[in-house]
Structures are given as structure tokens and as C-alpha cells.
Structure 1
Amino acid sequence: MVRSADGTDLAYERLGEGAPVVLVTGASCDRNVHEPLARLLATEFTVLNYDRRGRGESGDTLPYAVDREIEDLEALINEAGGTAAVFGSSSGAVLALHAAASGLPITRLALWEPPFTTDPDGPRRQHAYATTLTTLLGEGRRGDAVALFMGLVGIPEEMISGMRHAPMWAGMEALAPTLAYDAAVMGDGTMPADLVALVKAPTLVVHGTETGDWMGESARALAAALPHGTSHTLQGQSHDVSSDVLAPVLKEFLA
């Protein structure tokens, strides 16, 4: 465990030896989702794979604020020795961007598909999602909150209905309150150009060809807006990227 500035205890696993890399998960998951990637990277790096607040074995302290999650990442970087590279996935990549822009001592930044919208109607839909999510969570309807998120990311309704009866559903309901945290991290869903301009670390933005053309456009636009950004495309990969395919790209960049 490492303790954040507000007293929240954060669970993490340390693997490997070498320059430190901190892994930041996206929405609706804990650190287990990055375990295969962590083990692959640990052949060359010291990897800190942690549960974001409110997830897994980590604690939580209310009220939530994005700044508290930046402080969490700062605590992990301090635990790593004072500086570290950071990899963020999906909305976790957006959190990593916020942290880098705030001035945390991040040596290199690697991002997997930060889901910034390129649709002019995107901000309206993001606002509607966040509003409905707040209502559902306030009413204790965690299952419906999870279903709402799944619909947002494009999972068909019939598939969601089937998943409600699967053993994993209870775990997803347990993480439901943190969906509001990722909604706060995402803001209106568009790329925050002013914030991106503050990121000083060399940054790699990686996306897959199977997620959709919008993701490629978004990733390339983000890389172009970053002071030291580059983009990389993984052929045949969707948002649920294979760790075996992603790890070699990250190793080359983080080295």
C-alpha cells in the first residue's frame, strides 16, 4: 500500500527491475486488467500496477475530485523513486494527461486510445451520460449505471442483458461508483487543447485500426497537439488490445 495526500490507501503490485513505469487503468476495471501487460513490461522495467481509488483493494475518500487522482499518481511516482514513466489506458490515459500537465515528474508518457470525441454532438451526449449516471448512482441503481456505461461504449443491448446474469456482473456493480470518476476525468469528451499544451514529457499515442476511424483521427490530432507527441497505429487491434501486441511498442518507446 501507498498513502495518497488525502490519506487514501492505494493498493499496488511492484514487478520487475529497471526504470519505473506506473500503469493507469481506464473505466470499469481494477489493476487486474493490466496484469498481463505488467508482466510483459517487467522483463525490462520496474512496473507499479495499482488500483485507482475506489477500486479493488484501494480505499476511497469523498468527495471525489480529479486533483485527488493526480495526487494518487504522484504518490505512486514518489514510491517509484521520485520520477517515472506512465502508461494510461482509455480514460486512464486522459487521467495521465491531466497528471503530466499538472507538472508531475513524468519522464515519458504512453497512452492507449484516450477516447476524445471527434463528433460535434459528442459534448451533448457526454453531458447527458454524466447526468443520467449521477441520477442512477444517487438512486443506488448500480447495475443500471453499468449498463448505461456499456451502452455508451457501444455494447449492444442484448449483450448487456446477457451479461447481467454472468458471474462477473457483481464485480462490475462494485466498481459502478467509479464510473462517475472517469466521467469527471473526461469532462465534455473533447480534447482539452490548453491542458495538452502543458504536457512536457515525450508522449506516444497508440491506437488500433479496429476501434473505428474516429479513434485514429482523435489519436493523430492529440499527438499533433502535444509539444512532444507521436502516434503509432496497431493493425488489427480494437480497444480491447492484446498485451502481446502492445508491449513491444511500449518497451521500445519507454526505453
Structure 2
Amino acid sequence: MDKQTISRDGTRIAYRRTGQGPAVVLVSGAMSTGATVAPLAAHLSDRFDVFVYDRRGRGDSGDTRPYEVAREVEDLAALIEAAGGETALYGISSGGALVLEAAASGVPVRRAAVYETPFADYGGGAEERAKYTGQLTEALEHDRRGDAVELFLRLTGLAPGMIANARRSPMWADMEAIAPTLAYDDAVMGDGLVPRDRLAGITVPVLAVAGSASPEWLRRATKSVADAAPEGTYHVLEGQNHMVEPQVLAPVLAEFFSR
């Protein structure tokens, strides 16, 4: 990241800006930095002024304790100010929950798009989320970062054998380095259910996108987000899963942000 802005609590937020046109800020999900959404930025920069940033506690950005979701909303507000005072927002996975919270908080956003925010609106979903929160909190309190990463990977449905292989891979050290931010994403997700009352207060258009190859519960949760927002639209990308291909998603976002 080659630029920075200062959030309200003094935290340094690092970002990169590419392209020209209306401003768009891209928000990454758990266990990721701004580099995760950089390929999508490349597909949007011919039509938009795209901001990619490292969320607090990750990459080149700073961190300030104690953490609160409101501080991450303030980080977005600082980026929006750097962009000229108003932007569109896009967030993937738990980053989408942050985008929705920012829009509901009254941050100057003209449009908000999310991809498969993993709200668990199904039988036992809230209980599973509460169990994960408890185990994650315990692991991080004892600085068992590897265990925290494994808990998250299990939550995403990754098979035990693949987790074991990941532990032996060179990328594991990087994953452990940002493991404390798993608590941040967990806080952003709340109780894990679609925050319908909160979404009902969003006054800008919302696009909720899911992939046809993703689990049915993710598609259902995504549609629930669109249904709860007063100006919500649900869109399905054929053949895509949670690891959405940026060249497939970009045209859908571009059309939505250009309206």
C-alpha cells in the first residue's frame, strides 16, 4: 500500500488508489488483506476510482485496542473522506457485513454491494456461531493463533486433511500473523443472523450477490439481505462459488455502481 489516511481514533489505515471515475471502496473478508480484492480492483479501474485498503490489524495498517466494530466504520469514513466525501462500497464475505453496517450507520455511501455475507439463517446457525465465538475467544486469549486459524477454517467447511496440509504450508505463518483479526470479523458478524432491523434502515440501493455453486444456505442468506434492505436486489452468478472470479463479478458491480 502506498497511501495512508488516519482514522478517528488515530489508527493508520493503508490504501492504494487506482483508476478514474466515481469512487469505489473494496472491503476484504476474514483472514485477508487488501491484496485479496486487488484483482477485482484491476477489473474495475477502467471505469472507477478504486480504493483497496488493509483493514486495521492487517498488512500495512495499524491497530488500536480495544476493538469495536464502530472503529472499522470510522476507518471506512476516513477512506471515503480521502475519496472526496462519497463512494460506493463493496464487501466480500464478512467484509460485506462491515459494508452493510457502514451503510446503516449513515456513512456517506451512494450504493452498497456485498458478496455472500455468511449470515447463518438456518436451524442451529446461531448456536454454531456462539460456539465458534467462545472457542475463538479462548484460543486468542491464550495466544494459540494456530488453533484460532484452524477454528476459522473448520467454520468455513474446509476438510481436516486440507487444514493439516495448510498447517504445513509456507502461508501458515502469515495466517497466524493476522489471526487476532478473526475476532474483529466475528464481532462484525454479530450473532450470525441476518440483522434485518439494522438493514431496514439503509437508505441507499443494496446489491446482494451469490454464486450458484455455493451452498444453498449462503444463497438463502444473501437473498435475505436483499429482502431486508428497502432498496435491495438479489443477483446470482452462474457457476460461481465463495471464491468468486473477479472477471465474472466485475461487470455486475460496474453496472450496479453506474446506475
- TM interval, shorter chain, is over 0.9
Matched residues, number = 255
Structure 1 ranges of 4+ moved more than 4 A: none
What's the counterpart of residue 218 of structure 1? 221
Q: Are 1:136 and 2:139 an aligned pair?
A: yes
- AA aligned opposite 1:38: A
Deviation at 1:199, TM superposition (A): 0.8
Of 218, 227, 232, which aligns to 2:230?
A: 227
What's the counterpart of residue 58 of structure 1? 61
Instruction: Report SS of the residue matched to 1:103.
Output: coil
What's the counterpart of residue 247 of structure 2? 244
Q: Are 1:254 and 2:254 an aligned pair?
A: no
What's the counterpart of residue 68 of structure 1? 71
Q: Are 1:78 and 2:75 an aligned pair?
A: no
Of 199, 205, 208, which aligns to 1:205?
A: 208
- Give unpaired runs (5+ residues) of structure 1: none
Of 153, 156, 160, which aligns to 1:153?
A: 156
Deviation at 1:96, TM superposition (A): 0.5
- Give unpaired runs (5+ residues) of structure 2: none
Deviations along 1:14-53, whole A, 9 cap, x unmatched?
A: 0000000001111000000011101111010000100000
- AA aligned opposite 1:40: H
Q: Are 1:162 and 2:172 an aligned pair?
A: no
Cα distance in structure 2, aligned partners of 1:110 and 1:216: 15
Deviation at 1:120, TM superposition (A): 2.3
Q: Are 1:22 and 2:25 an aligned pair?
A: yes
Cα distance in structure 1, aligned partners of 2:179 and 2:156: 15
Cα distance in structure 2, aligned partners of 1:155 and 1:222: 25
Deviations along 1:50-72, whole A, 9 cap, x unmatched?
A: 00000000000000000000000
Cα distance in structure 1, aligned partners of 2:38 and 2:172: 20
Instruction: Report SS of the residue matched to 2:37.
Output: helix
Cα distance in structure 2, aligned partners of 1:216 and 1:92: 16
What's the counterpart of residue 117 of structure 2? 114
TM-score under structure 1 normalisation?
A: 0.99
Deviation at 1:202, TM superposition (A): 0.6
RMSD: 0.6
What's the counterpart of residue 126 of structure 1? 129
Sequence identity (%): 51
